[in-house]
Structure 1
Amino acid sequence: MQTRVDDMPLPAAPAASHAAPATEFRILGAISFSHLLNDMIQSLILAIYPILKSGFDLSFAQIGLITLTYQLTASLLQPAVGMITDRKPMPYSLPVGMGFTLCGLLLLAVAPNFAVLLLAAALVGTGSSVFHPESSRVARMASGGRHGLAQSLFQVGGNAGSSLGPLLAAWIIVPHGRGSVAWFSLAALLAMVVLLQVSRWYRDHHVVRSKTHAHHALLVPLTRTQVAWSLLILGLLIFSKYFYLASISSYYTFYLIHKFGVSVQNAQTHLFVFLFAVAAGSLIGGPVGDRIGRKWVIWASILGVAPFTLLLPHANLFWTGALTVVIGLVLASAFSAILVYAQELIPGRVGMISGLFFGFAFGMGGVGAAVLGHVADARGIEYVYGLCAYLPLIGVITAFLPNLERKRVA
């Protein structure tokens, strides 16, 4: 009987010939801090949407287009960056990428029209396209085999930075105007200094770590068809997660202002609380996945948040705040588990997988913001939250993922 090529098993990851190196918490801390600064700068764009909307007389669709521009820039370039650096690591690309973010930030502060706003957003997206795949690779190199923990530590920096953006916008940019955005270029400069130190460590260690970084427990080979279906399922879960997050990160302030009549600063404080909950949740998924299995974390994170998203459109102001905290905590725990699960599906392609999944996540967030902006213009902002409440139900397809932990060889 002839065997189909698509059903031939993929080769297992090669056995490690040396004991795994110790976890480099100093490097993980540095890369997490850089992620905090990078994503804090990105979140400033989201946080000053009310200022941009009134200052440039923008529609919700144009607000969504700003998000689409910077997130699609990142999403289209990240997989390419990951594939290139899988073949030829580029340690010093990290501070260079942050340089693009710095330029975008300065341009945002002085942009005279909507077209220049889009260019500034594209530069910030370009910086992220370089930063995320290579930073994720550094986190895995420094993990000492604790891959979920390392990705969670890396991810919590970014989510903490995202939560700070609205708070800093409320304290600094709202009182002093859009030009005060330029002061945050100092954060980008600090990140470049930190990343130069990380780049030196990366340069000195990538050859040694690449030889000793394989799993202690090897995966039983999956067929190419199984891997392809698993990646498709993970992609649908990313779609569910980031479309829903786009509804809050891009439009939560408008929702609170419209439905409850709160001030801009009060709404930005609520957004900070939600994003802080996201940061806290991101620290949970990786270490728990290391212990109990990534599939179960993914399942609980995506599907488990559905009861809370379904209640949110019917809640008063107090319960809206409380429910969004729970939603942020639970939903955020998925990404680290999804990313490490995908890296284990295709061993040896850390850059490509990291770029693909970070890029797809950003892309889905951007597309979600643009689509939901059009829906908000046509049907109202409250309709958006009623519609998006059903997205986490897609999490039921997690049942079809292979349980990799049961497929490990003793």
Structure 2
Amino acid sequence: MVSPNQSSRTRPLTLLSLGHACVDVYQGAVAALVPFFVSERAYSYAAASGVILAASLLSSVVQPLFGVLTDKRAMPWLLPVSTLVGGAGVALAGVSGSYTLTLVVVAVSGIGIAAYHPEAARVARDVSRGSHVAMGWFSLGGNLGFAAAPLLVWAVMATGGLRASPLLVVPALAGVALCVAALRGAEAPAPATAADRADGAAGRDDWASFLRLSGAVVCRSIVFVGLSAFISLYARQRTGGGEVSGTVALFVLYLGGAVGTVAGGKLAARHGRVPVVQWSYALTVLAVAGVVFVPGPLLHGCVALASAGLYVPFSLHITLGQDYLPNRVGTAGGVTLGLAVGIGGIAGPLIGAVADATSLQTALALLIAPPVLGRLLLCALKEPGTADAATARPESAADPTTRP
């Protein structure tokens, strides 16, 4: 039986997760639009990946700034406003044939997404009392949004090509309503939330561990951005399945992330966060190699494994970062969700340039190296607040009322 206190936390967290899905549709939508930019506007690989960079780079730089602001003062109004801005930018991406204007509007979308995530992560942490299992459910919403993006974009483009892109604003409108409802429901537990933050602030910031974690997140981001930008085009070439095969490959990449995020929280509750993150990076190395070299329809299976390796640690990155910097939770969220991810996105145009100069397979083969480096960075990582990961008590995370 669910107690009233648990119910008061579950409903706003559910609404936040659904709102997160509506926002992260627009992160996935930019990559899903790339094949249409290539086919309708004859963009080169480098030019197409430049659109993704425009969406991610400015977003990654400003997201920690929003994190610093939310550390100083709660700004829940950012959630609905930033959701609308993020959606409007992508909705305008196909309106003009101007490459410069396309870069500008997707950059504006990126700023909206940057403003959303640190404050949303703070609210979700407060509502869930810091549980990384609950944060996994919050992250699941975002990953479902990613997964839905290729199908949504394909459906919209089928109605009129890039000029139908204004229809993509619909999820943002739904997200605004969900954010408003979630914030109203989250007002009740505010006193306990403040106490939790005060308790967390008593810990010491572990910058050395946080920086190692952030370096690993950069490595993960390089792989994820590279696959997001080119897996659709690569699947078309590798399987001979045309547009459908490309859409399926991108959908599998994102949908596998939805499963991986929930699995990450469950595995961390049993084995601890740090070991699960370390295992995930090792799996990613093998899976990306399979994506590059395995021929035919089996490629989609390798994409699913790569997705699991990339997404199992996703929510764990967030809670580990917040626990390494308990006095700067917003900053930690801004870096792990924004800056580190965006820095990894810089590699996108470089991968595109290599693909233009050689082949797409050669360019994607470069993505095998980053998870190797990420795994090395994670070798010495310990559970926050402990000298030995064995003392972390991972089983306590299964209770969303218990701090990890």
Residue of structure 2 in register with 1:51 after alignment = 36
Equivalent residue in structure 2 for 1:128, among 93, 106, 113: 113
1:62 alignment partner in structure 2: 47
Q: Distance between the aligned counterparts of 1:311 and 1:56, measured in 2?
A: 31
**Are 2:257 and 1:278 equivalent residues in the alignment?**
yes
Matched, 1:399 2:379: yes
Looking at structure 1, the residues matched to 78 and 28 of structure 2 have their Cα atoms a distance apart, in angstroms, of 22
1:167 has 2:147 as partner: no
Cα deviation, 1:351-382, whole Å, max 9, x if unaligned, reads: 11101111124313421212211121122111
Q: CA deviation at 1:314?
A: 1.8
Counterpart in the other structure of 2:136: 152
* Secondary structure, aligned partner of 2:346: helix
Equivalent residue for 2:293, pick from 294, 307, 314: 314
For residues 199-230 of structure 1, give each alpha carbon's deviation from its aligned partner in whole angstroms, at most 9, with x where no partner exists: 334455445412135679x99x66x7xx2321
CA distance in 1, matches of 2:188, 2:107: 32
Q: Distance in 2 between matches of 1:60 and 1:25?
A: 44
Greater gyration radius: 1
Counterpart-to-counterpart distance in 2, 1:42 and 1:310: 25
1:38 corresponds to 2:23: yes
Secondary structure of 1:347 counterpart: coil
Q: Secondary structure at the match of 2:93?
A: helix
- 1:10 aligns with none
What CA deviation, in whole Å up to 9, does each residue of 1:143-171 have, x standing for no partner?
134x2112211111111111111122233
Could you say what the CA RMSD is over the residues aligned between the two structures, in angstroms? 2.3
1:11-22 equivalent positions in 2, closer than 5 A: 22=6
Aligned to 1:191: 175
Distance 1:312 1:46, change over 3 A: closer
Distance 1:184 1:229, change over 3 A: same
The equivalent residue for 2:217 is 238
CA shift, 1:129, in A, is 0.8
Seq. identity, % = 24
Cα 1:207–1:369, aligned 2, differ >3 Å: closer, same or farther? farther
Letter in structure 2 aligned against 1:114:
Y
- For the residue of structure 2 that corresponds to 1:404, the secondary structure is coil
Per the alignment, residue 373 of structure 1 pairs with 352
Aligned partners of 1:53 and 1:59 also within 8 Å: yes
- The letter of the residue matching 1:31 is L
Q: What is the match of residue 15 of structure 1?
A: none
Report the Cα distance in structure 2 between the residues aligned to 1:308 and 1:409, rounded to whole angstroms. 29
2:58 to 65, 69, 73: 73
From 195, 198, 209, the equivalent of 2:193 is: 209
Q: 1:214 to 1:323 in 2, by over 3 A?
A: farther
Cα deviation digits, residues 120-154 of structure 1 (max 9, x gap): 11111011011111111111011134x21122111
Corresponding position of 1:100:
85
Give the direction of change, closer, same or farther, for the CA distance of 1:22–1:131 in structure 2 (3 Å limit).
same
Would you say 1:180 and 2:164 are equivalent positions? Answer: yes
CA distance in structure 2 between the partners assigned to 1:161 and 1:205 by the alignment: 27
Match for 2:245: what amino acid?
N
State how far apart, in whole Å, the 1-side matches of 2:378 and 2:169 are: 41
Equivalent position amino acid for 2:65 in 1 = A
Distance 2:152 2:332 in 1: 33
Query: Could you say what secondary structure the match of 1:177 adopts?
Result: helix
Whichever residue aligns with residue 32 of structure 1, its letter is S
TM-score if structure 1 supplies the norm length? 0.87
Q: Which deviates further from its counterpart, 42-51 or 395-404?
A: 395-404
Q: Rate the CA distance shift 1:93–1:202 in 2: closer, same or farther, 3 A.
A: farther
| Structure 1 residues 347 and 22, CA gap change in structure 2 (3 angstroms) | farther
Secondary structure, counterpart of 1:110 in structure 2:
coil
- How many angstroms apart in 1 are the aligned matches of 2:158 and 2:344? 25
Alignment partner of 1:143 is 2:123: no
1:106-121 residue pairs with structure 2 within 5 A? 106-121=91-106
Q: Check whether the contact 2:284–2:310 (CA below 8 A) recurs between aligned residues.
A: yes
Distance apart, 1:86 and its partner CA = 1.1
Task: Write the deviation string for residues 282-325 of structure 1: whole angstroms up to 9, x where unpaired.
Answer: 11212332442211111011123222222332211222111111
- Per the TM alignment, residue 87 of structure 1 is displaced from its structure 2 partner at its CA by 0.8
What letter is aligned with 1:317? G
The total of aligned residue pairs comes to: 384
2:239 matched to 1:263?
no
Identify the residue that residue 400 of structure 2 maps to in structure 1: none
Contact preservation (8 Å) 2:226, 2:347: yes
Deviation at 1:105, TM superposition (A): 2.9
Q: Scaled by the length of structure 2, what TM-score is found?
A: 0.88
Q: Identify unmatched segments of 5+ residues in structure 2.
A: 394-404
Call closer, same or farther: CA 1:299–1:136 in 2, change over 3 Å: same
Task: Give the match for residue 336 of structure 1.
Answer: 315
In structure 1, give the amino acid aligned to 2:325: I
**Deviations along 1:1-59, whole A, 9 cap, x unmatched?**
xxxxxxxxxxxxxxxxxxxx747121111111111111113322211211112322211
Q: CA deviation at 1:95?
A: 0.7
Is the 1:238–1:361 Cα contact (8 Å) retained in structure 2? yes
SS of the counterpart of 2:129? Answer: coil
Equivalences for residues 356-371 of structure 1 within 5 A: 356-371=335-350
Query: What SS does the aligned partner of 1:400 have?
Result: coil
- The code of the aligned residue for 1:126 comes to I
| CA gap 1:183/1:311 in 2 versus in 1, 3 angstroms | closer
